[in-house]
Structure 1
Amino acid sequence: MGVSEPRHARPHRVKTGEGVDHPLADLLRPEAGQSFRWTEQQGRELLLVEHPRCTAVFSRQGGQLLHFQPRGERPLLWCAARWPRIGAIRGGVPVCWPWFGRHPMESGWPHHGWARLSDWRLTGKEADATGVRLNWRLELHDWVVELEAELGDEMHLRLTTRHRDSETCVLSHALHAYWRISDVARVGLLGLDGAEGRDLLVREACRQEGELRIVDGCHRVFRRGGKVTIQDAGWQRRICIDGGGNANTVVWHPGSRPLGEVSWSEGLGFLSVQGAACGQDGVTLVAGEEARLSLRVWVE
């Protein structure tokens, strides 16, 4: 599969306000007839994906999927309209790797690791009647991490880490997805009834009983993967998220706590439900071993 180099375009204005599907909507022109094309926005190189079954946007920084919209549906992913001049883009599906949260020993190292701050290499892309497939790759010292994306009527992401050092290492990682919703107060998360884990806001163990709803913030790491469903009463849709064999499901929303460069009203439009292996469920890898995460997502 051939990979073309980016061609820089003049920056496009970002839309804001009620009724706009996505802050990157101005960039997408499916009628152009190109499945893949490069552009630039807010200082980042972006790969635009325009296919009869879906549209999507990736950032080279982080190998990060910022937007995904199946034909006939609202966008599935939320993305902040304003990005920091330097640093991680908030939104889409950041790759937290090779650690989740704060590094356990190095306080000055970046939150959620190096992957979302590094430029990834696009190693393959192809399109057919069912959708598109892309492969992104990052090599860092003795680690190799690859992100495979299959996009069409559904979204399927697979993250694979290969450890090549002779020393045993501990890995924690996450696909930190921000799902676009009508209003965080009008959604419930199904599928975690009985799941145990840890509430990171109060720093104690927790057990979910029934549907999870956000009252004023949430940051819980559940020791369960599998399928969960965001039931959105405001938009009358269900986002089904299948984490397969992932060790953890992480649920996060800041509530009334401020987020840098994100307005209060803008922040009401997402819920982060992540596939992860973190904390006590981090993966110990010896030389030559692999670790995997996956997310498969569709709308009902």
Structure 2
Amino acid sequence: MSLAASGGSERAASGLDSPLEALLRPSAGQPFRWSEHQGRELLLVEHPRCQAVFSRQGGQLLHFRPRGERSLLWCASRWPRIGSIRGGVPVCWPWFGRHPMESGWPHHGWARLSDWRLVDKQSCASGVRLCWRLELHDWLVELEAELGDEMRLQLRTRHGDSEPCVLSHALHAYWRISDVARVGLLGMDGAEGTDLLAGAPCQQDGELRILDGCHKVFRRGGRVIIQDPDWGRRIRVDGGDNPNTVVWHPGTRPIGDVSWAEGLGFVAVEAAALGGDSLTLAPGEDACLRLRASVE
């Protein structure tokens, strides 16, 4: 069964936006405040130019809405009691997918399961800036966020061990859309990569559309436009000089704690460095991954 045959109108009729917006309210000029939701400690950001929600677990941006726009990010309404939160921008670090040698280690690494420390937060007329930090053994990783009319994220890793180490990482962004069967992704024409569902090389020809599932790793960063005619908007996602762009949606395959209709409301377009484009860091060397997004 294709996504186009699924009846995405069920979700559109619900009128739902981000399930986290109910937590946000005018806060007497205070742009930052802490709250708790479904067992997670959250930082709520309320600024004249945008609103946002972060989870201390994972240092994860769960919600971002520029003034006058719909939410840019999708987040599941129900979260597991233990484990990662599906939605927003999970940090996959220091490996992507399954660990190449340790089958019992968590999918997509330790970062999204660990509590991060908020080391800096600032507010100015144009928006807010925040920095989250995680220290694990000889690694130090920071997520810097600038939020206002647009979203800018930078993931920086500092390798402090005495031996070289391989790093793969991703900013696994879930973008909020009207219906995955009705959107098109522009900007990947000619890009080569791997279709992980087919287990074969692929090359994109023109607009990318998702009919029943997609998991492709392209060997290209740069700009992708998510064109959403039902909502009359285009989300510009820019991975800059990152080596990989990942496009993912589960299609008709179920995902835990997410209803069929809810799952139609996102497409993942991720900034990454993985597989053959993973990084080998020398002692003392840094690595950086960037993601920027706005509404056109």
Query: Normalising by the residue count of structure 1, what TM-score does the alignment of the two structures yield?
Result: 0.94
Residue 60 of structure 1 corresponds to 56
2:287 aligned partner: 291
Unaligned runs of 5+ in 1: 1-16
| Aligned residues with identical type, % of pairs | 77
Residue identity matched to 1:243: G
Q: How big is the shift at 1:114? A: 0.1
Superposed displacement of residue 32, structure 1 = 3.5
Task: Name the counterpart of 1:184.
Answer: 180
Deviation of the 1:278 alpha carbon:
0.3
Q: Deviations over 1:223-248 (max 9, x none)?
A: 00001100001101000011001000
Aligned equivalent of 1:129, options 125, 129, 137: 125
**How many angstroms apart in 1 are the aligned matches of 2:115 and 2:27?**
29
Which residue among 22, 26, 29 is the counterpart of 2:22? 26
In structure 1, the partner of 2:103 is 107
Task: Report the counterpart of residue 169 of structure 1 in structure 2.
Answer: 165
Letter in 2 for 1:237: R
Q: Which residue of 2 aligns with 1:73?
A: 69
1:39 aligns with 2:35: yes
Render the CA deviation track for 1:195-229: whole Å, top value 9, x for unaligned: 00000001110000000000100000000000110
Q: Distance in 2 between matches of 1:154 and 1:291?
A: 23
Q: Which contiguous aligned blocks of 4+ residues in structure 1 show a shift greater than 6 angstroms?
A: none
- One-letter identity of the residue aligned with 1:255: G
SS of 1:30's equivalent in the other structure is: coil
Q: Distance in 2 between matches of 1:49 and 1:171?
A: 31
8 Å contact from structure 1 (residues 79, 178) kept in 2: yes
Q: Work out which structure has the larger RCO, using CA pairs closer than 8 Å and 6 or more positions apart in sequence.
A: 2
3-state SS of paired residue (1:165): coil
Equivalent residue number for residue 248 of structure 1: 244
| 1:152 alignment partner in structure 2 | 148
Residues 90-110 of structure 1 deviation map (CA, whole Å, 9 limit, x = unaligned): 000000000000000000000
Determine the C-alpha separation between the residues in 1 that align with 2:274 and 2:248.
Answer: 14
Deviation at 1:145, TM superposition (A): 0.3
Deviation at 1:31, TM superposition (A): 5.0
Aligned-residue offset at 1:288: 0.6
- The unaligned stretches of length 5 or more in structure 2 are 1-12
**Per-residue deviation, 1:293:** 0.4
- Computed over aligned residues only, the root mean square deviation of the Cα atoms, in angstroms, reads 1.0
- Matched residues in 2 for 1:20 and 1:149: separation? 26
Partner in structure 2 of residue 235 of structure 1: 231
Partner SS, residue 58 of structure 1: strand
